[in-house]
Amino acid sequence: MDIKELIMQVNDILWTYALIFVLIIGGIYFTVRMGFVQFRMLPEMFKLLFVKGLKHEKGQVSSFQAFAIGTAARVGTGNIAGVSTAIALGGAGAVFWMWLIALIGAASAFVESTLAQVYKVHDGKAWRGGPAYYIERALGERWLGIVFAILITFSFGFAFNSVQANTIALSVNNVFEINTWWIGLILAVVTGIVIFGGIRSISTLSGVIVPVMAGGYILLSIWVILTNLDVVPAVFSAIFSEGVFGFRELFGGAVGAAVLQGIRRGLFSNEAGMGSAPNAAATAEVSHPVKQGLIQSLSVFVDTLFICTATAMIVLISGVQGSEEFQGIELAQEALLVEIGPVATSLMTIAILLFAFSSILANYYYGETNIEFISEKKRYLVLYRIAVIGMVFFGSIRSAGLVWSIADIFMGLMALVNMYAIFRLSKVAKVLLDDYIAQKRAGKDPTFFRDNVDLPGKEHVEAWESKEEQIS
């Protein structure tokens, strides 16, 4: 067995057994413990996202911009290629399981993002935080925080950005026949300009790209649905019937293709519980940590119930059959070609460009905030930025197959570290949620003070004032 086969086997074992089990059990546990927060607080999520709240100081990131960064990382080419692959290998029933995983996983997203807000820090310019920070400050385990920081920096900052760049380059080259070297050079330069502008540049650009790409792609799928209304009932029937059949397989001791592909692609797409989105959640300036927890929970729904469903409907309505040889971007492109004709190629290329580039920016930031956790020396951050630009160029001109498998393993390991932390700290999220609801019932706009509740590592909570400090 060569090294590539070994890496592939380790990746399959990690994602097929350990990670799926931990994330699903965790999602169910957090759903119950938080009182089904992702369902009963859904109206509040939309209100927080669109109603203007706390005034932001110059240079600070708004709640919506933090939502856009988190959504940008979640919504990548996996929402097109990953969903198409799941359908090709698992059938329509895989979509049912993607939906189910999103409904469960949104509770995990709430917990981890709320914790990120509580234990965030200020670097003199903006807020930053995430699992590495709450592992150190609440659990007192800096060494484990450093392990997490290394894992997420490699997987998101380097490997996944290389893969995203590769997807952009191949897609543009196939349609417009532009040499991948030129594509890589342009992509690297634009990436460099944005990331050297800091979190404010990233959040501003994400706040523009995410609504445009998500809204446009959803509208495209709605058009496909409306022009094929006679087929839609059969499509939903297949999704639910094959999905329910997956329940029988699961409880019968077997894991069918629809179950496995739906769960795996759903988890990989929405990233709930994996510890990536909390890095974005921590950047927001809000009056209560729960506000950003709710908004990041909504991001999971946007990713899976809207974007992934858009791809699923396009593929299933088209009737194009996938296979082990014909899946991913190719299947999605063929489905659009059937539905809207030759213009589909250009539309899909634009979608891939927007989806992938927004992911590059968000993935970069996840690495940045964790580099700063390991060391605050600016030279390491500069070296990281240069390395990211280099990986974007490298990914544009080279195949990233093995890099993807290695990144999957690193991502899986970081998810296990994060789940360990949020299991231990879930009581903090629960107490904060109760405090938030109590203030809402009293007719107040919830505001958090660190002496309101008993927090582990309270002496390390620097982002939130006590009531005495506010009065003075």
Domain ranges for the chain, please list them: 3-160+231-342+401-438
The separation between CA 284 and the C-alpha centre of its own chain, rounded to angstroms, equals: 16
**Do 290 and 432 form a contact (C-beta atoms < 8 A)?**
yes
The separation between CA 402 and the C-alpha centre of its own chain, rounded to angstroms, equals: 22
Q: Which two tokens stand for residue 191?
A: 């990436």
- Dihedral of the CA atoms 146, 148, 152, 158 (nearest 10)? 40
∠ CA 303-307-310, rounded to 5°: 155
**Maximum Cα–Cα distance for the chain, whole Å?**
67
Nearest to 267 by CA among 19, 81, 18: 19
d(CA 462, CA 301): 31
Q: Which two tokens stand for residue 2?
A: 């060569």
- Name the average pLDDT for the chain: 80
Sign of the Cα pseudo-torsion (103, 108, 114, 120, in order): negative
d(CA 232, CA 311): 14
pTM (2 d.p.): 0.85
d(CA 339, CA 336): 5
What's the pLDDT tens digit per position in 150-166? Answer: 999 988 888 888 888 88
pLDDT at 178: 82
pLDDT at 53: 43
CA atoms within 13 A on the CB side of 459: 2
Sign of the Cα pseudo-torsion (364, 369, 370, 371, in order): positive
Strand partners, 122: 127
pLDDT at 283: 83
Distances (CA, A) of 169 to 56, 79, 117, 327, 343: 37, 18, 36, 19, 19
Residue 354, classed as helix, strand or coil, is helix
86-102: b (≥16 Cβ within 10 Å) or e: bbbbbbbbbbbbbbbbb
pLDDT at 449: 85
pLDDT at 120: 92
d(CA 322, CA 332): 9
Nearest to 316 by CA among 84, 108, 101: 84
Q: Residue 61 — φ and ψ, nearest 5°? A: -100, 130
Q: Enumerate residue ranges in the chain where pLDDT < 70.
A: 1-4, 7-8, 10-17, 51-78, 198-207, 210, 245-269, 322-329, 399-405, 457, 467-472
Residue 368, classed as helix, strand or coil, is helix
What's the pLDDT tens digit per position in 48-60? Answer: 877 654 444 444 5
